[in-house]
Amino acid sequence: MPDARPGSYRVVVAEDSYLVRQGIRQVLDQEDEVEVTEYCADLGSLLRAVERDQPDVVVSDIRMPPTNTDEGIRAAAQLRDDHPEIGVVVVSQYVDPHYAIKLFERGAARRAYLLKEHVGHRNHLMGAIREVGTGGSVVDAKVVEVLVEARTRARNSPLTHLTPREREVLAGVAEGKSNAAIASTLFLTKRAVEKNINSIFSKLDLPDDTEVSRRVVASLLFLAEQTAAVD
């Protein structure tokens, strides 16, 4: 568990929209835990700030100058090589899991995918920063929710074999929660969560993995694909 002493997370923020940047600033300004060393507005200045400040965590938009496409995802990939110890929280406007999956392409550890509109929830943003700072992973609950909903719609979907409780647990897994976290949100015992997870993974034919960052990816991929399994 992270200690809450002042300045325990040195953070670089990259967001090209002034208004959103100000919003993030307002949230983080009130957090003693966090020391923001730089607010950047494009990929180049983000990478320079990282080299200069050696932060613990980067909070980054996806679509930024220079190309306004997937700068944030590329920055995360580059940091995986150059500074594997730095955690990355990607704040995104896209509910679709495409970018989340891309973000986790080379491992979900120290990576979080958060919807921008949820950045105002202090707990959301700070939770994500803490998680990536300590090796965990986070996927915005709404992203998972939308996926589960879409997946359940399909006739013959394997999700229909899950109990409602199991679906809730699966969502927690996909959000990157630890068993303990799932247990506390769903008011279950840790033991019950473990039982549920075993049942889910065998029903869905997924490799059982206690490692949180790995099972995030597996469950996300499972939810995002809508192919042959249906046949």
Enumerate binding residues for another protein (CB under 8 A).
Answer: 17, 19-20, 22-24, 26-27, 63, 68-70, 93-98, 116-117, 119-122, 147, 150, 153-155, 157, 224, 226-228, 230-231
Work out how close the CB of 231 gets to another protein at its nearest, in angstroms, rounded to a whole number: 7
Residue 110 or 116: the one with the smaller Cβ distance to another protein is 116
Sign of the alpha-carbon dihedral angle for 177, 141, 127, 36: positive
Work out how close the CB of 199 gets to another protein at its nearest, in angstroms, rounded to a whole number: 24
Work out how close the CB of 226 gets to another protein at its nearest, in angstroms, rounded to a whole number: 5
Residue 46 or 193: the one with the smaller Cβ distance to another protein is 46
Q: What is the CA radius of gyration of the chain?
A: 18
Work out how close the CB of 29 gets to another protein at its nearest, in angstroms, rounded to a whole number: 10
Looking at beta carbons, which pairs linking 94-102 to residues 24 or more positions away fall under 8 Å? 94/62, 95/142, 95/143, 95/146, 96/143, 97/139, 97/143, 97/147, 97/220, 97/223, 97/224, 98/224, 99/62, 99/70, 99/73, 100/139, 100/143, 100/220, 101/217, 101/220, 101/221, 101/224, 102/70, 102/73
Residue 210 or 226: the one with the smaller Cβ distance to another protein is 226
Work out how close the CB of 27 gets to another protein at its nearest, in angstroms, rounded to a whole number: 7
Residue 119 or 216: the one with the smaller Cβ distance to another protein is 119
Residue 27 or 181: the one with the smaller Cβ distance to another protein is 27
Residue 3 or 30: the one with the smaller Cβ distance to another protein is 30
Work out how close the CB of 96 gets to another protein at its nearest, in angstroms, rounded to a whole number: 5
The phi and psi torsions of 148 (rounded to 5 degrees) equal -60, -40
Q: How far is residue 9's CA from residue 2's CA, in Å, rounded to a whole number?
A: 10
Work out how close the CB of 184 gets to another protein at its nearest, in angstroms, rounded to a whole number: 20
What secondary structure does DSSP assign to 114-177, as a single string?
EEGGGTTSHHHHHHHHHHHHTT-EEE-HHHHHHHHHHHHHSTT-GGGGS-HHHHHHHHHHHTT-
Residue 181 or 221: the one with the smaller Cβ distance to another protein is 221
Number of neighbouring beta carbons within 10 Å of residue 73: 22
